Structure 1
Amino acid sequence: MTQAPFELPGQRDAEDIMSEPDTHPVATTRKRLSFLAFVEHTRVSSNASLGLQEGLELFEYAEDLGYDTGYVRHRHLETYLSSPFTFLAAVSQRAKRIRIGTSVTPLRFEQPIRLAEDAATLDLLSEGRLELGLSSGYAATESTFSQAFGEIEGDDIRALVDARLSSFLAALEGRTVATAESDLSFAKAGAELTVQPHSPGLRDRVAYGAGGGTSAQKAGARGLRLQLSTLNTEIGELGFENTQAQSIRTYRDEHAKVRSSPASPSFASVSRAIAPFDSATERAELEWLLERDAERAASVGEGPLPFQFGRVAHGSGEQIAEALIDDAGIHAADELVIALPFDYPAETQRRILRQFAEDAAPHLPYLR
């Protein structure tokens, strides 16, 4: 679980928020339809991973279905992608249209200049298709991950992540990261050095994964894109979807102050979990998702962290569309991301993507 490095906002009065005029009407253009997957790297034999191969095939399959972007989750010390850029580089050479990205790369574990080099290289290999999502790291399990990635000086993850984010963005913008102190084989003494390679449009495609209104506001103030997931890290009277819609409005207000150019507009995505089924057998296959959804709905705010999860839209394509058609968070966003479940067979992942694209999406006007 990742945690944004920004402070969580205090709760505002729900009636005051709902009564505010909406200065961001619903866009009339089609929203992007994308997906988010756990790609695992297990089942290794003869120096090949069946899990990675299935991940590559999933992107090709989604591209054929018409999905706009495929995101992967970035994990460390787990069976899921710890090195997503190498995986996405392979994807970019097999799938030629679909956009590729992370949701999210945890900055806690990254050296920002090296990250900028890798990101620019991947963006150029994919011909400008990288959609890079960033966030902080695993604050709740810092004592474990510090054993592998080193202790944080001062024990302040927020300050560390903010500094690394600033360095990373500066590198993408082509700012000086070092000065040659003497004549080098590639530069004269005093030369200002920048990260190479440089991919000019990548800076405008960097997003931050936010859990609430304050982190969304700060993402806007940085001129970043915004990624909202299937959970909120704050609980208010507005409910899950309306809270996300409010966060997106706050984000856009801040973004407009720093990057008002039409060439670099604000961009917000929201993720939703679904459980499509057309038979009792298909429903039984996804029963665990439905049971977990019911448990979460019954225990909002309980446990060590005050999370609020979005509900899992389930049933036939038409039933799923009915559950999502008036979702305020989706309406406020520019992209709907279908969050695939983890630890399900490849054929189930493909079925979920296919049934949504073919049976639900046609009933959602904002995807047409």
Structure 2
Amino acid sequence: MPSTARPLRKLGFLTIGLFDAADPGRGHESTLRLIELGERLGFDSAWVRHRHLQYGISSPVAVLAAASQRTRRIELGTAVIPLGWENPLRLAEDLATVDILSGGRLNPGVSVGPPVHYERVGPALYPDTADAEDFGYARVRRLLDFVRGEPATDFSGAEGFEVYSDVVQPHSPGLGRRLWYGGGSLASARWAGEHGMNLLTSSVVKAGDGDGPLDFAEIQLSQIREFRARHPDGDAARVSQGLVVIPTDSASPVQRAKYQQYAARRLPRTASPQGPARLLFAPDLVGTSAELAERLHAHAAFREVDEVAFALPFTFEHEDYVQILTDMATELGPALGWRPAS
């Protein structure tokens, strides 16, 4: 088996945190228990997705605040917060607060663009400014500045019994180096690198408008290299890959069949770019850890990274996730050269 150019240094996982509308507490508790399990298994990081007006985590910062009090070591990330739904100044306050509560373990991932179905949700989200909101990179720039300690106002000092700061409080000095951009295009990779962020890649890339062959791994590899070429840290700039990876070492026959059927249903979308944005999806990877390690070592973009946050499938049961995470930590991770955190 060929070796990776960058030995796997950090192993993480990503969950959407689905819940039943009739019993949302059970789903949120399941997410917190998976994060606790991840820490016990030695994972380096646990990440939560962000879903608005759906049956998934709508407030990842609040969920990670709870997780910060039930764990002590594992890093906690968002993958990703869509900034079109957020006020950057208020979000900076929330992120810094949770980072302080966690002891400096928060890794916020963000992205830009208008909210999904903005024509329908815009009037509720921005009733007076829906047509004037800017959903471009300037929104990330504002968040970066606030988190990194740039002034948010020209006023500070005492006013009667009240004392005001001109920068976001609390200020967590290390948080600015742990901000991630979730990108799937050359333009986003370039912007993230130029602004000193870390780069979150996933199982989705933009195929672009070229007529050449479409190879997901090669497209993702070109984005990673563009990011590092633009980043002040160069080849040392942090990149995490987030493919859907499902080890089956200890799975029951019923679970294996379920996992294979899940991947098969999603496979057709990987054959060609999808939608106006020409999104190209990577196939879900299902198999034993030995099989998965071989496929990952053959993946051009995986060979370029030393951090991963493998995505858990959306619709499985809690016990399925326990099996998958356990196999990731005890079988797949070691097969990739990773060692669990103590």
When the two structures are superposed, what TM-score results if normalisation uses the length of structure 1? 0.82
**Are the counterparts in 2 of residues 43 and 50 from structure 1 also a CA contact under 8 Å?**
no
C-alpha distance in structure 1 between counterparts of 2:313 and 2:292, whole Å: 16
Structure 2, unmatched stretches of 5+, are none
Select which of 162, 166, 177 maps to 2:141: 166
C-alpha distance in structure 2 between counterparts of 1:283 and 1:167, whole Å: 46
Provide the residue aligned with 1:221 in structure 2: 194
**Are the counterparts in 1 of residues 96 and 170 from structure 2 also a CA contact under 8 Å?**
yes
**Are the counterparts in 2 of residues 180 and 187 from structure 1 also a CA contact under 8 Å?**
no
Provide the residue aligned with 1:332 in structure 2: 304
C-alpha distance in structure 1 between counterparts of 2:99 and 2:150, whole Å: 18
Matches within 5 A, 1:202-221: 202-221=175-194
**Are the counterparts in 2 of residues 43 and 51 from structure 1 also a CA contact under 8 Å?**
no
Shift of 1:56: 0.7
**Are the counterparts in 2 of residues 210 and 226 from structure 1 also a CA contact under 8 Å?**
yes
C-alpha distance in structure 2 between counterparts of 1:296 and 1:254, whole Å: 32
From the superposition, tell whether residues 136 and 288 of structure 1 become closer, same or farther in structure 2 (CA, over 3 Å): farther
Shift of 1:344: 1.4
The alignment partner of 2:172 has SS state of coil
From the superposition, tell whether residues 160 and 199 of structure 1 become closer, same or farther in structure 2 (CA, over 3 Å): same
**Are the counterparts in 1 of residues 259 and 286 from structure 2 also a CA contact under 8 Å?**
no
**Are the counterparts in 2 of residues 39 and 51 from structure 1 also a CA contact under 8 Å?**
yes
Provide the residue aligned with 2:6 in structure 1: 27
**Are the counterparts in 2 of residues 109 and 137 from structure 1 also a CA contact under 8 Å?**
no
Select which of 194, 197, 207 maps to 1:234: 207
From the superposition, tell whether residues 193 and 303 of structure 1 become closer, same or farther in structure 2 (CA, over 3 Å): closer
**Are the counterparts in 2 of residues 31 and 335 from structure 1 also a CA contact under 8 Å?**
yes
Shift of 1:305: 3.5
From the superposition, tell whether residues 366 and 181 of structure 1 become closer, same or farther in structure 2 (CA, over 3 Å): closer
**Are the counterparts in 2 of residues 112 and 168 from structure 1 also a CA contact under 8 Å?**
yes
Provide the residue aligned with 1:349 in structure 2: 321
**Number of residue pairs matched?**
332
C-alpha distance in structure 1 between counterparts of 2:309 and 2:156, whole Å: 47
Q: Residue deviations 1:131-163, cap 9 Å, x none?
A: 110002455521122132126958576x43422
Provide the residue aligned with 2:256 in structure 1: 283
Provide the residue aligned with 1:269 in structure 2: 240
Shift of 1:242: 1.8
One-letter identity of the residue aligned with 2:93:
E
Matches within 5 A, 1:70-219: 70-150=46-126, 155=131, 159-180=134-155, 184-185=159-160, 193-219=166-192
Shift of 1:61: 0.8
Q: CA RMSD in A?
A: 2.6
The alignment partner of 2:135 has SS state of helix
From the superposition, tell whether residues 183 and 126 of structure 1 become closer, same or farther in structure 2 (CA, over 3 Å): closer
Percent identical residues? 34
From the superposition, tell whether residues 138 and 167 of structure 1 become closer, same or farther in structure 2 (CA, over 3 Å): closer
C-alpha distance in structure 2 between counterparts of 1:186 and 1:211, whole Å: 49
**Are the counterparts in 2 of residues 274 and 312 from structure 1 also a CA contact under 8 Å?**
yes
Q: Residue deviations 1:62-82, cap 9 Å, x none?
A: 111111110100111111111
Provide the residue aligned with 1:20 in structure 2: none
C-alpha distance in structure 2 between counterparts of 1:350 and 1:66, whole Å: 14
Do structure 1's residue 39 and structure 2's residue 10 form an aligned pair?
no
C-alpha distance in structure 1 between counterparts of 2:120 and 2:130, whole Å: 17
C-alpha distance in structure 1 between counterparts of 2:127 and 2:184, whole Å: 25
One-letter identity of the residue aligned with 1:162:
Y
The alignment partner of 1:291 has SS state of helix
When the two structures are superposed, what TM-score results if normalisation uses the length of structure 2? 0.88
Shift of 1:113: 0.8
C-alpha distance in structure 2 between counterparts of 1:121 and 1:192, whole Å: 15
Shift of 1:196: 0.6
Shift of 1:27: 3.5
**Are the counterparts in 1 of residues 246 and 312 from structure 2 also a CA contact under 8 Å?**
no
C-alpha distance in structure 1 between counterparts of 2:128 and 2:257, whole Å: 45
C-alpha distance in structure 1 between counterparts of 2:11 and 2:291, whole Å: 18
Provide the residue aligned with 1:8 in structure 2: none
C-alpha distance in structure 2 between counterparts of 1:78 and 1:296, whole Å: 22
Shift of 1:367: 6.2
